[in-house]
Amino acid sequence: DALGYNCWLGYHKLDNSRLIKEYVKWCKNIIRSEDSDVINTALDELKNGIHGLLDINPIISVEPVMKAYLSIGTFSENDTLDALLETEEKEETGEEGFIIKLAETDEESILIIAGKTEKGLLYGVFSFIRAIQTQNNLENIFGIEKPANQLRILNHWDNLDGSIERGYAGKSIFFNNNKVIRKSDRIRDYARLLASMGINGTVINNVNVLKFETRLITSAYLPDVARLADLFREYGIRLYLSINFASPMELGGLPTADPLDEGVREWWKKKIEEIYSYIPDFGGFLVKADSENRPGPFTYNRNHADGANMLAKALKGHSGIVIWRCFVYNCMQDWRDYSVDRAKAAYDNFMPLDGKFDENVLLQIKNGPMDFQVREPVSTLFGGLRETNQVMEFQITQEYTGQQKHLCWLVPMWKEILDFDTYAKGKNTFVKRIVNGSVFENKYSGIAGVANIGDEANWTGFQLAQANLYGFGRLAWNPDLTSEQITEEWVRRTYSNNSEVVNIISEMLLSSWKIYESYTSPLGIGWMVNPNHHFGPNVDGYEYDKWGTYHRADLRGIGVDRTSASGTGYAGQYNKEVEEGYQDAGTCPEELLLFFHHIPYNYKLKSGETLIQYIYNSHFKGVEQAIDLKNKWLSLKGMVGEELFNHVKGRLEGQIEYSKEWRDVINTYFFRKTGIDDEQGRKIY
C-alpha cells in the first residue's frame, strides 16, 4: 500500500511483543452466534484486524473452544451476552453505542464486544481495533461509548457525469458517464472507511441537482441506486439523495412544483413510495432550494417551511427525513449597495420560520454565515434557532483552504466552532450541544461534512488530507476529543507508532490551518481568491461582483462594517453576550476584526503592530512556516514509506511556491493601496 489506499485501516503487525501477548490470550477464539450482514462485516473486520496486528488466525465458532475468548454480538438478540451485562450498562450504550468489557468466571475469561444493535457492535469492533493499533493496554479499552451525534453524515457533491463539484481528488467513485458505477470494490472499501469512524449516513449526489441527477429517483436509476444502498447497508450506513425541488415538473410533467398544490403533493407521495420499494431503509432527501439559482418554493410565493414540510409529510410514514439547507442568500447583489449583507441572509430567511418545520425536517447550516472561508464567525442560526432540528455543515473538501494542494488540517477550526459558546440558554450553550440535540431536545440533529474524496489512489489527492476525513468522522462521533488526540490516533494508525513520526506529523497538522490563514486573506475578511475555481490569490477577484463577498479596501482602511451602529447590523443577530464582544473593535477577537469592522491601516493591534504591518508580517512569516513544514517532513526520511515520503514532499514544495504567490500578491496590493513601507524593508513588489 505504497500510496495510502488503506488509509488508517492497513493492519500491520504490532511492534510490541508484550502487547501482542496480552491481546492474543483472548483473540485466538472469536465467538459469534448471530448472523446478519452487519455482524458479518464486523466479524470480517475483527478477523482481519487480529490477523494483521497480532499475526494469528483466530478460530471462529459458535461455542467457545478455549478458556479465554472474544465474544461479539448484540445483547438485544443474544441471551448469553445479555446475561453477562448489567442493566445499567445496557441502557448506557444507547442505540448505536457499545460496551467492551471483561467477564471472568472460575472457568472462563471472556472479552466482550457488544452493542444493543448490530451497528453498535460494528463500532465496538472498530474501536477495539483502533485501541490495539494505537498500542493501548487492555485495561484502557474497557468501557462504554456512544456517539454524541445522532446523524453523522457525509455529503458528496458528485455529478452523474463523474465530475465532483469542488472535488480535488479525481473523479466520482459512484458515477461515471451518466451512469452509476457497477464495480463495487472501491465503494465497499469506502463504506468500510466511513464505518470505521462511525459515519451512519451518506448523500451520494451533489446538492446542485441537474438534468441527469434529477432522474436518480426514477426507475431508470433506482435499481442501481438500490445496489449502492445495499453496499452501504452492510456497513451500517443509510443512503440519502439530493433532489431537485422542481422534479414534479421535470419528471412528472406537472405544470407546477408548488408545495401546496394537491397534485404536487400526491406526486411526491407516490414517488417516495416508489423509492422505498427499492430501498426500504432509504434515509431521505437533502435539499438545496431557492439558493444559487436552484428551484424552490419561492417561485410560488411559499416559504422554506412549506417546501420542506410537504416532503417531510410524504417521508414520515417511511421514517425518512428532510435535510433542508440554509445556504440561501442574494447571489445577484450590487457591490455598490452597502445595505445588503450576505452574512445576514441565512438568519433573515430562517429565523422567522423557527418552530414551523415538521418534526422530521432538519435545517443544515454551514458553520459560518458566508461560505467555508479559512476564518469566519459561527453562523448566527446556531444559538438563534430554538425550535428547529439543526445539522452542522462542515466542508471537508478544501475549496477555500488550499484545495488539497496546501496542507490545512481543519480539525482545530472545527473544534473552535463546536466549542463556541452561543449563550442561547445562558453561559455554556456550546454549538456542539446544540447540534447534538441536547440543548433544545431535538428529535433529530447531527453533523454533515462535504466529502474530500475521489477516485485517486489515495482517495484525497494529498495523502495528508485523509486526516481531514478522519478528523471529521471522529468529531462527529465525539466532539469532545481534542485536536491532539485525533492527530495522534491518525498518525499512529496511518503511519506508525514511532514517537518521532507521531510528534512531527502531529505538529505539522496542528499548525497547518493557522499557517494557511497567515499567508492568505487577513483577519477574517475572507475571499480574495480567483473567481470560480477559488484557487490562488486575487484580492479584487470578488470585489466588484454579484456574490456579496467584499473587503471594501481603500487607501485608508479595509474590512466590512457589520456593527449595528454604523454597519450592516449583522453583529446584532447574535445573543447579547456574544454580540457585545463583536460590536466594538476593541473587544472583537482580532482574528475576526476585518469581518466585523472597517479598520484604518494605522490601527494598533494588541501586539503593538499596526494593521498594515501585521498584514506584511503575517504574510512573510506564513511563507517561512510553510518552508518549515517541508523541513519537518524531510526529517522523516527513512521513517515513512518512500513513495509516500516523496508524494508529501512534492505537495509541500508546491505549497511553498503557492504561499509565496499569496504573500507577494497580498503584500503588494496593500503596499500599493496605502503607500506605507514595510518597517523591516523586506521585498514588496
Q: For the purposes of burial, counting CB atoms within 10 Å of the CB of 339, is it exposed (0-12), middle (13-18) or buried (19 or more)?
A: exposed
Q: How far is the CB of 559 from ligand GCW (least distance, A)?
A: 22
- C-alpha radius of gyration, the chain, whole number: 26
Name the residue nearer to ligand GCW (CB basis): 206 or 389: 206
Between residues 243 and 424, which has the closer beta carbon with respect to ligand GCW? 243
Q: Which is nearer to ligand GCW, 208 or 498 (CB)?
A: 208
Nearest-10 crossing angle of helices 411-418, 499-519: 70
Q: Which is nearer to ligand GCW, 349 or 625 (CB)?
A: 349
Q: Is 500 one of the catalytic residues?
A: no
Interface contacts to ligand GCW, rule CB under 6 A: 157, 165-166, 207-208, 288, 292, 327, 371-372, 399
C-beta of 607: minimal distance to ligand GCW in Å?
Answer: 32
The least distance separating ligand GCW from the CB of residue 341, rounded to whole angstroms, comes to 17
C-beta closer to ligand GCW: residue 59 or 210: 210
Q: Cβ distance 436 to 148 under 8 Å? A: yes
Q: Any idea what DSSP says for residue 652?
A: H
Cβ closer to ligand GCW: 77 or 165? Answer: 165
Q: Report the C-alpha gap between 250 and 345 in whole angstroms.
A: 29
Q: How far is the CB of 342 from ligand GCW (least distance, A)?
A: 12
Instruction: Find all residues with CB under 8 Å of 425, minimum gap 6, and list them.
Output: 439
Catalytic choice (37, 230, 292, 642): 292
Q: Which of 145, 341, 399, 517 is catalytic?
A: 399
- CA pair distance 111, 107, nearest whole angstrom: 14
592 touches 563 (CB < 8 A): no
- DSSP codes of every residue in 58-122: PEEESS-SSSEEEEEEETTT-HHHHHHS-HHHHHHTTTT-EEEEEEE-SS-EEEEEEESSHHHHH
* Residue at shortest CB range from ligand GCW: 371
Grid coordinates representing 110 are 471472556
CA atoms within 13 A on the CB side of 4: 30
**Buried/exposed 3-16: b ≥16 CB within 10 Å, e otherwise:** ebebbbbebeebee
Burial of 523 (0-12, 13-18, 19+ CB in 10 A): buried
To the query of whether residue 292 is one of the catalytic residues in this protein, the response is yes
> Ramachandran region of residue 526, left (φ > 0), alpha (ψ -120 to 50) or beta?
left
- The yes-or-no answer on residue 273 being catalytic is no
Least spacing, CB of residue 545 vs ligand GCW, in Å: 13
Question: What span, in angstroms and rounded, lies between the C-alpha atoms of 237 and 233?
Answer: 5
CB of 291 to ligand GCW, least distance (A): 6
Rounded distance between C-alpha atoms, residue 445 and residue 391, angstroms: 5
Number of neighbouring beta carbons within 10 Å of residue 79: 10
Rounded to the nearest whole angstrom, what is the least distance from the CB of residue 157 to ligand GCW in the complex? 5
Q: Which amino acid does the sequence have at 348?
A: D
Rank residues 23 and 329 by Cβ distance to ligand GCW and give the closer one. 329
- List the beta bridge partners of residue 113: 72, 100
Closer to ligand GCW by Cβ: residue 97 or 446: 446
Which is nearer to ligand GCW, 344 or 474 (by Cβ)?
344
Residue 358 is placed in which grid cell?
415538521
CB of 632 to ligand GCW, least distance (A): 31
From 371, 489, 517, 561, active-site residue: 371
Those residues whose C-beta lies under 8 Å from the C-beta of residue 558, and which sit 6 or more positions away, are: 525, 551, 552, 594, 598, 599, 601, 611, 670
Least Å distance, CB 354 to ligand GCW, is 22
Q: Active-site residues: which are they?
A: 292, 371, 399
